[in-house]
Amino acid sequence: MLPLPFRTMATIARSSLKVGLIPADGIGREVIPTAKIAIEAVGSDIPPPQFVNLLAGFELFTRTGEALPEETVDALKNECDCALFGSVSSPSRKVVGYSSPIVALRKKLDLYANVRPVFTVSAAPEEPAKVDMVVVRENTECLYIKQEEQTMSERGKEARATRLITEYASSRIGRMAFELALQRPRKNLTIIHKSNVLSITDGLFRESVRALHTKEPRYQEVTVTEQLVDSAVYRLFREPEIYDVMVAPNLYGDILS
């Protein structure tokens, strides 16, 4: 679900929620129609939602040469309160003219926070969840800015990718993570990084999130810990129940969640 913060909740409460449906490719064409049925069945305190069918995806690109039509972006900006995005069949090889529509949507709509809750469901309803955590992934920077180049040298082809980490984006996602941690019983936040190797980029992410703990008195209720990304993956396999809220740069957050 992609929340689009263009209408206030007060406005939404007085009218029907308008949901953009973007099945895109592959399994998305099964998941999105089923999600629509589920939303209609569950109901809500506001009038039944309206659904807007929108186009995007690699299959669309192969037919039209366009993976993310401006009509889809305009509808999300001006008509929809939120959107359901299915799945993109992005090729692993370079295709001239193609760029992932989900990455483009994040940029165009500034969808900076990818919030992924994970919890186990016990067979016995009275038993608490063994795992109850949230991965908060910065969604606009890191290697996903897609600034790559390939050159030739005496060693043959050389490929380079630019990784971008800013104080602004790191602080913004850190604030989201702290706010979520404050709402949870354990109030624990783990910063994921690899600043022992990437001391400048990951160092900036780590320092920017940590600085919020000092600057904001409210956030001092939260216990802050750190974990190198490789050991975090190991511990997620061995003891996932130790984590509450994890905050990470884009690539790490993608892999972890």
The pLDDT-based confidence of 240 (bands split at 50, 70, 90) is very high
pLDDT digits (tens, 9 = 90+) for 25-57: 999 999 999 999 998 888 766 677 899 999 999
Q: Domain spans of the chain?
A: 1-110, 112-257
Give the percent of the chain with pLDDT over 70.
Answer: 93
Q: Which CATH superfamily is domain 112-257 in?
A: Isopropylmalate Dehydrogenase (3.40.718.10)
The sign one gets for the Cα dihedral 86, 90, 95, 98 is: positive
Mean pLDDT of 60-65: 95
Q: What is the pLDDT of residue 6?
A: 44
CA distance 150 to 218: 47
Mean pLDDT of 213-228: 96
Contact 7, 77 (CB under 8 A): no
Q: What order do you get walking across the sheet with 113-119 strand by strand?
A: 113-119, 132-138, 245-248, 188-193, 223-228
Nearest CA to 192 among 116, 131, 243, 129? Answer: 243
- The token pair at 30 is 């099964």
To the nearest whole number, what is the mean pLDDT of the chain? 90
Residue linked to tokens 């370079």: 94
Measured in degrees and rounded to the nearest 5, phi and psi for residue 18 equal: -110, 120
Please tell me the pTM assigned to this model. 0.82
Counting Cα atoms < 13 Å in the Cβ hemisphere of 185 gives 4
Q: What is the pLDDT of residue 144?
A: 86
Query: With 90 as the cut, is the pLDDT of residue 69 above it?
Result: yes
Strands (E), 60-178: 82-87, 113-119, 132-138, 148-153, 156-161
pLDDT digits (tens, 9 = 90+) for 5-27: 444 444 445 467 899 999 999 99
pLDDT digits (tens, 9 = 90+) for 166-198: 999 999 999 999 999 999 999 999 999 999 999
Q: What is the pLDDT of residue 141?
A: 93
